[in-house]
Amino acid sequence: MTLAIPDSLRATARTLASTPIAALFARDPSRVERLTFEWEGFRVDLAKERITPEALAELCAHAGGAGLGRWIAALFAGEKVNVSEARPALHPALRDPSTTPLSVDGADLRRDIRVSRERIGAIADAIRRGDRCGATGKPIRHLVHMGIGGSDLGPRLVVDALSPGTPVEGPGVSFVANVDPVALDRALAPLDPASTAFVVASKSFSTQETLVNANAALAWLAAALPPSADTHAHLIAATARPQAAAEFGVPADAILPFHESVGGRFSLWSSVGVTIAAALGNRVHAELLAGAHAMDRHFATAPFAANLPVVLALAGLWNASALGYRQRIVVPYAEALAHLPTYLQQLSLESNGKRVTRDGSPVEGRTAPALWGGIGTDGQHAFFQWLHQGTDVAPVEFVVPAVPVRGDARRHALLVANALAQSQALALGRTSDDVAADLARRGAPVDASSVAARACPGDRPSTTILTPRLDARTLGSLLALYEHRTFVEGVLWGINPFDQFGVELGKMLADPIAAALAGDGELAAGADASTRALVAHVHAMMNSGSEP
């Protein structure tokens, strides 16, 4: 097997691969109890996974032997766990209320974090009170959060998840990530420039999409405001490059720095979260961080066999590296978690979509499976057919708030019932005999093709994560749960889950192509014939005067 999965479990994996999940229930009456893990109202049910309590226990022991405990301690101690960039991963520190100094690069990081939290809170309060004004003196009533990847997905998910349905105090908020002009233009169309501010969220303050959008926003403001208006007064920057933000023209008192060692996909806990505090209020923002911190303490202290991030990671590793399932489908049964699958895509695939280990050697076996998904019940009318009767088996993770986020408990119960039914149907399926009997009962043809088309093989694994509710604290804990699950998987695959060098090549190749499309430059001599032909075609179309 691999570092993640011990050789001692090789035979077990082969046996379980051909053992129906239904049989696992039949042979162990205590299966549910032994594969259910609870913490502060969270319930993780692994009983419908193709795993046994014994295999999970052996994986826990293996994780210990692989040094997982030392890596967890190093993460919380601010050690350089991001080995390729020689940096710590400081997202847990951002939500830790502790006042004990945490020395990073010789400075007490906790003081900087406290100052940052105070500045975020002050800006958020001022906007919510209508005290923060634009260049013409009008109070800011709308925030446009401009960022991409981790500078967008976390705040977007949190604001969408926790925004009450009814209009309440606080600014309106829009999120713009894509460089496609449709994204920004659509967001700006209904807005009043005089009362609109922009959060430029960019750790590097060099991401092309975000800077192009920020300049377009400034142009939008300049076109609408009086010539004397200082359009930069409408900017707030959240970045690890405050000097770059200052050079861009962001006023000094509107630059909210955060530490270089906070990873982009973990930055919602940093000053990138100023939009969360402005949109939802500082109390909710504090609850979110408190929930994440509570999960941090659980992760740092609970024995592996009772540690939600650890058992979720081990079940994921078992599916991906022992059983060979190369997809992971996340289905939140909550409209409020509509952005969770996309958020987890970046978290998991940018962290663990890697092919070399921490020391640069090729990984043994496979690492992160493809991750995608969508909300329930909508997915039942989109991709669940594939899940139930397709030729590929893909483990599903159901994320289900046990009580209503908001609204009618009866309709919420229908939502939960669908989630539990889908998990049951995936596991147990529907035999040909049952289908034939049902067809006969209904007086319908019972020929082989009619039966075969309706039978569901079942035996398809899933995990159900029940959250106690879906308020700020619970959401904070849920996101931290997935952060730490991802970290554990990375450690056990032997990779560095904190860098993302794979994203650089495409960005680098885009520049000469953009120049060629704009007629400002030539493609490199070595550019492949396909790209060269495509560029020529698009350039011709763009210059043919064809209607948009």
Structure tokens at 115: 């100052």
Residue number with CB closer to ligand F6P (60 or 349): 349
Can you tell me the distance from the alpha carbon of 170 to that of 84, in angstroms, rounded to the nearest whole number?
41
Q: How far is the CB of 386 from ligand F6P (least distance, A)?
A: 28
Structure tokens at 67: 């040094």
Q: How far is the CB of 199 from ligand F6P (least distance, A)?
A: 12
- Sheet strands side by side (includes 36-39): 36-39, 42-45, 462-467, 396-401, 327-332, 370-373
Residue number with CB closer to ligand F6P (149 or 429): 149
Residue number with CB closer to ligand F6P (40 or 85): 85
Q: How far is the CB of 504 from ligand F6P (least distance, A)?
A: 8
Given a contact cutoff of 8 angstroms between Cβ atoms, the answer to whether 45 and 99 are in contact is no
DSSP tag of 527? -
Residue number with CB closer to ligand F6P (210 or 422): 210
Cα 209 to chain center, whole Å?
20
Q: How far is the CB of 90 from ligand F6P (least distance, A)?
A: 15
Can you tell me the distance from the alpha carbon of 152 to that of 112, in angstroms, rounded to the nearest whole number?
23
Three-point CA angle 137, 143, 149, nearest 5°: 145
Question: What are the C-alpha distances in Å from 209 to residues 56, 147, 159, 238?
Answer: 44, 8, 21, 15
Beta partners for 123?
none
Classified as helix, coil or strand, 184 is helix
- Nearest CA to 362 out of 54, 44, 122, 3 is that of 3
Q: How far is the CB of 352 from ligand F6P (least distance, A)?
A: 13
Cα 192 to chain center, whole Å?
32
Terminal Cα-to-Cα distance of the chain (whole angstroms): 54
User: Is 138 a known active-site residue?
Assistant: no
Q: How far is the CB of 357 from ligand F6P (least distance, A)?
A: 20
Residue number with CB closer to ligand F6P (104 or 238): 238
Instruction: Put residue 41 in one of left, alpha, beta given phi > 0 → left and psi -120 to 50 → alpha.
Output: left
Residue 382 burial by CB count (10 A; 0-12/13-18/19+): exposed, middle or buried?
exposed
Cα 272 to chain center, whole Å?
15
Structure tokens at 69: 């405990």
Structure tokens at 177: 């990530």
User: Is 339 a known active-site residue?
Assistant: no
User: Is 350 a known active-site residue?
Assistant: yes
Other CB atoms closer than 10 Å to residue 104's CB: what's the count?
A: 20
Supply φ then ψ for residue 332, to 5 degrees: -75, 125
Can you tell me the distance from the alpha carbon of 48 to that of 431, in angstroms, rounded to the nearest whole number?
18
Residue number with CB closer to ligand F6P (37 or 343): 343
Q: How far is the CB of 163 from ligand F6P (least distance, A)?
A: 22
- Nearest CA to 312 out of 487, 459, 460 is that of 487
Can you tell me the distance from the alpha carbon of 335 to that of 347, in angstroms, rounded to the nearest whole number?
20
Residue number with CB closer to ligand F6P (202 or 477): 202
Residues binding ligand F6P (CB under 6 A): 148-151, 202-204, 207, 210, 264-265, 350, 500, 503
Residue number with CB closer to ligand F6P (3 or 292): 292
Can you tell me the distance from the alpha carbon of 134 to that of 136, in angstroms, rounded to the nearest whole number?
6
Given a contact cutoff of 8 angstroms between Cβ atoms, the answer to whether 185 and 315 are in contact is no
Single out the catalytic residue among 49, 209, 287, 350: 350
Single out the catalytic residue among 38, 54, 118, 507: 507
Give me the amino acid identity at 530: S
Strands 327-332 and 235-239: unpaired
Q: How far is the CB of 55 from ligand F6P (least distance, A)?
A: 34
Residue number with CB closer to ligand F6P (248 or 318): 248
- Nearest CA to 169 out of 282, 259, 93 is that of 282
Q: How far is the CB of 259 from ligand F6P (least distance, A)?
A: 13
Residues carrying an active site annotation? 350, 381, 507
